[in-house]
């Protein structure tokens, strides 16, 4: 039987390089989003007819869109090597599902803001998008810490399933 090149039995932890990509794109999204929020609501520039939008507001939004594209690429690499095996092994499913649901909501609201938002709905969609974004960042960190903690302890997930199944029981 040929050896599988990428087999990682009972292991769902991301490689250090993969973790850096997830952290980097997530941080770029968070910082650009928070900076857009600050410049949109709290920083104004003097204009010809009074206060106007600060010129950097648009650049933070552009950076946020670029970071979102990068994050989506990284997410596409995380799903087959991390999320799918973790689901099959029943590991850290609670926080993982929460993070994926938050990401899905951000994708839908981001799409709606860019393509489908009417002028009446746009402020509501925007508020929902940034509120979910501010929740998603700590949820992702919590998911990472919970997975590392549970893997180090060899404990069961919050659903009560034993994580460290013995090879002998799996083969019988």
pLDDT by 10-residue block (mean), the chain, 172 residues: 50 85 96 95 78 88 96 94 82 88 96 85 93 95 84 54 43 46
Query: Residue 70: its pLDDT value, please?
Result: 97
**pLDDT given for residue 68 in this prediction:** 96
The values of phi and psi at residue 113, to 5°, are -65, -40
**Under a CB-based contact definition with an 8 Å cutoff, are residues 38 and 53 in contact?**
no
Rounded distance between C-alpha atoms, residue 135 and residue 106, angstroms: 11
* Rounded Cα gap, residues 95 and 146, in angstroms: 8
- Rounded CA-CA distance 40/35 in Å is 8
What pTM value is reported for the model? Answer: 0.77
Looking at residue 53, the DSSP 8-state letter turns out to be: E
Phi, psi (rounded to 5 degrees) for 27: -65, -40
What is the predicted pLDDT for the residue at 89?
Answer: 78
CB-based contact 65:33 (threshold 8 Å): no
Per-residue confidence (pLDDT) for residue 10, from 0 to 100: 53
CA 117 to CA 129: how far, in whole Å? 12
Q: In the chain, where are the structural domains located? A: 90-158
Task: For residue 68, give every residue at least 6 positions away whose Cβ sits within 8 Å of its Cβ, in sequence order, or none.
Answer: 29, 110
């Amino acid at each position: 039987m040929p050896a599988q090149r990428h087999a990682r039995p009972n292991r769902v932890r991301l490689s250090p390089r993969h973790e850096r990509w997830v952290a980097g794109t997530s941080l770029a999204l968070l910082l650009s989003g928070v900076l857009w929020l600050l410049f949109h609501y709290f920083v104004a520039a003097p204009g010809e007819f009074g206060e106007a939008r600060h010129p950097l507001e648009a650049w933070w939004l552009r950076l946020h869109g670029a970071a979102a594209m990068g994050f989506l690429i990284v997410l596409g690499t995380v799903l087959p090597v991390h999320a799918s095996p973790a689901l099959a092994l029943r590991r850290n499913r609670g926080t993982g599902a929460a993070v994926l649901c938050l990401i899905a909501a951000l994708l839908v609201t981001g799409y709606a803001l860019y393509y489908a938002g009417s002028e009446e709905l746009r402020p509501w969609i925007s508020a929902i998008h940034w509120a979910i974004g501010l929740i998603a960042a700590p949820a992702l960190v919590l998911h990472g810490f919970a997975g590392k903690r549970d893997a180090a302890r060899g404990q069961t997930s919050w659903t009560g399933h034993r994580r460290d199944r013995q090879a002998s029981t799996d083969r019988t």
